A and B are shown apart, each in its own frame.
Chain A
């Protein structure tokens, strides 16, 4: 007798069933609506999405690196460096070229990481920690330690404050980032190879794949996503800050982990990233609205990561037990 559920699990691109993170995210949303004052207002929800947008774009990049079996710590520092580069380039190059220069900086840092990990064979933690420190130090050195203000201009503030068809640009950009990431992962040749390299780099090499190149392109693509986030963030703060987003790598890793991406690589779906990001953004927002000290954001985030990863493990075990009990 065959049961309705056939043996075997879905492939890497399909969502795990049930999408645990989606339920957690929905549950958290309902809790916040019921118990957090002023959470369920239109203005606040738009604000949550606005914050989530930047996190989402950068988390898309982090997801690529995690699927590759790596991890990326340098995002925060390279975003800070990008803001400094942008503001320093503004007087000479104008807002568009300035922001582009900042974005290019982030892609460059990503490519260096990819080169260090792929060609030089350094462990991702060490490689990205090294570039984190170099980028962070360079940013502080360039501005002498103090934030550098940007002259106000409409073009410069458009990425953060502009609207298209009434929708804020950051939210549109995040939606676009998700679509692009999904396209790459599901239909891109390079995206397919990221899964292969993440699942088993040695097997990929023996199958005739240029593993170093795939890794380099992966980190560079991750840098490209992060670059979009850097442009929006620089536009929002309108200044070059050497300590702009120190928690960005940790928040993006947390979002991916909460979303259910295994850090061992080879698996991951864009919706997992989206729900993970929304969960993180709602938690951060709720902390502010309940009037808890902002420092609690990190404490809660840490707890959420541990709980999410722990629960995912337990759920797998529970499912197995349930499967046995019903037979």
Chain B
């Protein structure tokens, strides 16, 4: 590779945390003007490598060069000054401040101490940055009034206030809908055309194929595919490189439809939303962000109050009465693992057994040995790693934390239906396979399953039929063998792709 177009080169990067070896020998070479995808399952060392690049973590060994010059960053601020600008999946802006103040944050972060906050960059420069990312908003508008997609573009615009040489996009689309993501991609491409290098981290192959020029794959702390042009590898070879193992097959066909189990009618006060999930069936609920798909699923599980009638196996319950719904056998995995699902300071086993405490209790006292006997096999079946049921949930990786929520569903006494929201969001490929298998097994044993996800790949490998939600109502029903294009056009409404 000619040195002239080399933007960033990291070689021989290693990093250990206590007994855990996060990176052994990682290499990453970014070139100017190109979007570089970084792939790897959770635990492969992806996020550690990114943290090292943006100056949040210091490597144990290895070399970092920026534009051919050796570099070392003691802090995120230093890395940003050097031109490595992170765009975070959790937005790092200030919603209470104006767009103008947010754009000024980098330019003015040097000196001035407490009083720096009152100063702003020249409005014409700020407008120029906004124009460059194609955003037309009032500089004085509070950032909080902008949509998530617009906020992310403001973050990119802010990067322009510096001499941005490497843009680090860490799952930037996690909170965006398809339109907003396209807009972000267009901006990234435009910036790259001006010579910026972009590092793009995502779990979604669609996006990677749409945006990236090159790809690097990490597995087990090592670079296994090094800066290859993306066209040279198929999804299968990339997945194989990430996993070092086989790839998941599609869903089996459902022979006959059994009796209805989970039923809901009149979501959001509309008479026309009538939804039924049958025993043994996996229904995929698809919808763009803001379509109401997640809210509809949460409502069906009794997790969200509102109008309408709900029932499971013939027993009615009130929307929002999650306790009754759980007692009737509806398990639920909320969309936001950390906020709504996990008990971070409690052990893995306790995170699971909460749904089945009644099983282990006699007159209000728990039989903890029986609890371990019943819960631990479930954790082994889901390949919890490390296999330590007593360890705190907070110490596990995202994929393994998600396994705990799935196990909690499977442990529910009298399980009749499972409602799963984004069951594998931010989860690595291996854990994703395990979770999908568990969902299929549950369905095969007669549980009615509803999966609401914004991940089309996931729907296509899981669902026996698809329900498409638009504008808080069911817009379409598609059979298992519906082509991807049909699903996409149903999702976006009349504007078919």
Interface of A with B (CB < 8 Å)? 2-3, 5-12, 14, 186-190, 192-193, 195-196, 199-200, 202-210, 266-267, 320, 323-324, 327
A211 to chain B, nearest CB (A): 9
In contact, A207 and B355 (Cβ under 8 angstroms): yes
Write out the residue numbers on chain B whose beta carbons fall within 8 Å of the beta carbon of A195. Answer: 343, 345-346, 350
Given known contacts A9-B395, A200-B342, A207-B408, A2 and B355 CB-to-CB distance under 8 angstroms: no
Write out the residue numbers on chain A whose beta carbons fall within 8 Å of the beta carbon of B395. Answer: 7-9
A81 and B233 alpha carbons, distance in the complex (Å): 77
In contact, B390 and A188 (Cβ under 8 angstroms): no
The contact of B386 among A6, A10, A11, A323, by CB within 8 Å, is A6
In contact, A188 and B366 (Cβ under 8 angstroms): yes
Nearest residue (CB) in A for B396 is: A8
A320 and B327 alpha carbons, distance in the complex (Å): 43
The contact of A206 among B20, B332, B392, by CB within 8 Å, is B332
A6 and B18 alpha carbons, distance in the complex (Å): 9
In contact, B326 and A11 (Cβ under 8 angstroms): no
Q: Interface residue count for B (Cβ, 8 Å)?
A: 41
Could you tell me the dominant secondary structure of chain B's interface residues?
mixed
Does B47 sit at the interface, judged by CB under 8 A? no
Digit string of B373-394 for contact with A (CB within 8 Å is 1, else 0)? 0000000000000101011101
The contact of A196 among B346, B349, B364, B365, by CB within 8 Å, is B346
B190 to chain A, nearest CB (A): 41
Write out the residue numbers on chain B whose beta carbons fall within 8 Å of the beta carbon of A200. Answer: 340-344
Does B3 sit at the interface, judged by CB under 8 A? no
The contact of A7 among B20, B323, B345, by CB within 8 Å, is B20
17 more CB-based (< 8 A) A-B contacts, given A12-B392, A189-B365, A203-B342: A6-B388, A9-B392, A10-B392, A11-B350, A12-B345, A187-B368, A192-B366, A196-B354, A199-B344, A199-B345, A203-B334, A203-B343, A207-B332, A207-B354, A208-B322, A266-B344, A266-B345
In contact, A11 and B347 (Cβ under 8 angstroms): yes
Nearest residue (CB) in A for B392 is: A9
Does B115 sit at the interface, judged by CB under 8 A? no
In contact, B18 and A324 (Cβ under 8 angstroms): yes
Does B16 sit at the interface, judged by CB under 8 A? yes
In contact, B357 and A188 (Cβ under 8 angstroms): no
A sample of 14 cross-chain residue pairs with beta-carbon separation below 8 angstroms, ordered by A number, consists of: A6-B386, A11-B346, A11-B350, A186-B368, A188-B364, A189-B364, A192-B350, A196-B343, A199-B346, A202-B340, A207-B332, A208-B326, A324-B16, A324-B17
In contact, B322 and A205 (Cβ under 8 angstroms): yes
B51 to chain A, nearest CB (A): 15
In the complex, which of the residues B325, B366, B396 has the most CB atoms of chain A within 10 Å of its own CB atom? B366
A272 to chain B, nearest CB (A): 14
Does B339 sit at the interface, judged by CB under 8 A? yes
Write out the residue numbers on chain A whose beta carbons fall within 8 Å of the beta carbon of B354. Answer: 193, 196, 204, 207, 209
